[in-house]
């Protein structure tokens, strides 16, 4: 008997969590209050960037007359966040001025293109502002002019291996992030932000050619095709094809190369630029039309239309010797990508199999008359 999988939660029923920035701010406040009062302040309330007042509970607090340290366990809610359940600590001591820095497990910025200057701890502007405003409020209730706040994440270096930080030039740990203070489960905004940041770093690293892959497998394959390109040039775009192309154009890059497989790129060929399976199904009628253009007879066209997956449809055409089918698909996809962003950037599409075999690759540089105008 076939086992039934557990029903998926409705998005509105998913539990929200709180960002590393919100947790770090709460820990810093608890440490400051504990140092000032010389008692363990295990619960604090902070204001999130969205204006909400939220209560946080500490895991532990240690203090003496000179310094205090508070630790908190980050709860990302129902989001599969790499930092979920990570311990975040804030160490505080009084100082002549307010200083906020990163300690063990918080990365350091080594490349331009990020919202934090090179050499500084990877504490993004909004979390830094949250901590600054909180600290000024607490200092106003004491006789002290300033404080030194050090944010650490004991397992941060290990957690960072699951993130894009290394490629972005953030070395030694995670980033302290968050623009809202809350973590929205399975947020597309968070993924888009990481794409935009990666393309910004690539641009600042003088990468004129950006390689956009749909996933880890396609990125590994892309690296073998472009061994001359530096690491920053490779960006995992996931399902956000249109958004990623627009980011490349906005940064005035010369060429964007899309690398992926039949299912997603059959959608791009139709002008669908958000290619998640839930956003749009594979259109087998379209693949049948493409098969006809490639020269397939009616029987073969029907096999393509009746395929269970886009990969199976491609296998049918491959076995029948219609390699031009894949070139037509790439040409359509490249042209659709170019038109989606309004031109101004070369778009290349590379279609691969799950076994890392090349099916086709096509570059679209714009209409013939447009190219002739450039040459003139």
Domain-located, residue 121: yes
Residues whose CB is less than 8 angstroms from the CB of residue 148 and which lie 6 or more positions away in sequence, other chains included:
92, 93, 94, 95, 99, 101
Is residue 222 located within the same domain as residue 155? no
Domain-located, residue 81: yes
SS (H, E, C) 287-301: HHHHHHHHCCCHHHH
Look up the domain containing 329 and give its range: 188-375
Q: Where are the alpha helices (DSSP H) in the chain?
A: 20-37, 125-139, 156-160, 165-168, 188-204, 216-225, 241-250, 262-268, 284-294, 298-305, 310-319, 324-340, 368-375
Provide the number of structural domains found in the chain: 2
Check residue 258 and give its pLDDT.
Answer: 98
Domain-located, residue 7: no
Is residue 230 located within the same domain as residue 169? no
Domain-located, residue 1: no
Check residue 163 and give its pLDDT.
Answer: 87
Is residue 24 located within the same domain as residue 133? yes
Instruction: Identify the domain boundary among 183, 201, 222.
Output: 183
Domain-located, residue 4: no
Is residue 147 located within the same domain as residue 240? no
Domain-located, residue 234: yes
Instruction: Identify the domain boundary among 154, 183, 212.
Output: 183
Is residue 286 located within the same domain as residue 301? yes
Q: Is 304 exposed, middle or buried (0-12, 13-18, 19+ CB in 10 A)?
A: buried
Is residue 177 located within the same domain as residue 208? no
Instruction: Identify the domain boundary among 183, 200, 233.
Output: 183
Is residue 143 located within the same domain as residue 217? no
Is residue 94 located within the same domain as residue 170? yes
Domain-located, residue 129: yes
- Residue 48: CATH number of its domain: 3.30.2110.10
Is residue 225 located within the same domain as residue 150? no
Check residue 207 and give its pLDDT.
Answer: 96
CA-to-CA separations, 230 to 58, 134, 161, 201, in angstroms, rounded:
43, 41, 19, 12
Q: How far apart are CA 233 and CA 368, in angstroms?
A: 28
Q: Secondary structure of the chain: what % helix, strand, coil (to 5)?
A: 40, 25, 40
Is residue 275 located within the same domain as residue 138? no
Check residue 187 and give its pLDDT.
Answer: 63
Per-residue pLDDT tens digits of the chain, which is 376 residues long: 223 333 344 444 567 889 999 999 999 999 999 999 999 999 999 999 999 999 999 999 999 999 999 999 998 876 667 898 999 999 999 999 999 999 999 999 999 999 999 999 999 999 999 999 999 999 999 999 999 999 999 999 999 998 889 989 999 999 999 888 887 765 677 788 889 999 999 999 999 999 999 988 899 999 999 999 999 999 999 899 999 999 999 999 999 999 999 999 999 999 999 988 777 889 999 999 999 999 999 999 999 999 999 999 999 999 999 999 999 999 999 999 999 999 999 999 999 998 899 999 999 998 865 554 444 3
- Asked if residues 121 and 108 have their Cβ atoms less than 8 Å apart, the reply is yes
Q: How far apart are CA 213 and CA 225, in angstroms?
A: 12
Q: How far apart are CA 361 and CA 168, in angstroms?
A: 28
CA-to-CA separations, 208 to 152, 245, 286, in angstroms, rounded:
36, 13, 33
pTM: 0.76
Is residue 212 located within the same domain as residue 122? no
DSSP sequence for 223-286: HHH-TTS-GGGEEE-TTBHHHHHHHHHHTT-SEEEEEE-HHHHHHHTTT--B--TTT----HHH
Is residue 73 located within the same domain as residue 120? yes
């Amino acid at each position: 008997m076939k086992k039934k999988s557990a029903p998926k939660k409705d998005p509105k029923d998913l539990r929200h969590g709180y960002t590393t920035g919100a947790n770090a701010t709460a820990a810093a406040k608890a440490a400051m209050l504990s140092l000032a009062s010389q008692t363990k302040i295990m619960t604090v309330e902070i204001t999130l960037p969205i204006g909400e007042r939220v209560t946080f509970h500490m895991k532990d607090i240690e203090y003496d007359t000179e310094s205090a340290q508070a630790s908190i366990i980050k709860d990302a809610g129902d989001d599969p966040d790499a930092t979920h359940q990570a311990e975040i600590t804030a160490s505080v001591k009084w100082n002549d001025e307010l200083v906020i820095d990163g300690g063990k497990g918080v990365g350091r910025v080594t490349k331009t293109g990020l919202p934090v200057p090179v050499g500084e701890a990877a504490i993004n502007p909004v979390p830094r502002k949250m901590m600054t405003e909180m600290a000024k409020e607490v200092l106003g209730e004491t006789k002290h002019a300033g404080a030194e706040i050090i944010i650490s994440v004991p397992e941060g270096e290990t957690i960072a291996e699951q993130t894009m930080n290394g490629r972005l030039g953030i070395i030694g740990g995670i980033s302290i992030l968050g623009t809202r203070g809350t973590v929205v489960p399975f947020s597309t905004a968070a993924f888009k932000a990481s794409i935009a940041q990666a393309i910004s770093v690539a641009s600042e690293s003088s990468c004129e050619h950006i390689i956009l892959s749909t996933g880890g497998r396609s990125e590994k394959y892309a690296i073998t095709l472009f061994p001359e390109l530096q690491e920053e040039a490779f960006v995992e775009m996931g399902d956000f094809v249109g958004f990623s192309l627009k980011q490349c154009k906005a940064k005035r890059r010369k060429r964007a190369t899309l690398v992926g497989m039949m299912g997603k790129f059959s959608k791009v060929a139709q002008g669908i630029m958000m290619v998640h399976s839930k956003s749009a199904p594979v259109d087998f009628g379209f693949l049948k039309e493409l098969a006809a253009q490639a020269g397939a007879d009616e029987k073969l066209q029907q096999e393509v239309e009746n395929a269970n997956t886009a990969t199976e449809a491609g296998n049918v055409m491959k076995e029948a010797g219609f390699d031009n089918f894949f070139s037509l698909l790439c040409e359509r996809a490249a042209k659709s990508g170019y038109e989606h962003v309004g031109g101004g950037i070369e778009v290349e599409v590379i279609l691969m199999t799950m076994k890392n075999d090349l099916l086709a690759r096509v570059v679209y540089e714009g209409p013939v008359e447009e190219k002739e105008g450039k040459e003139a």
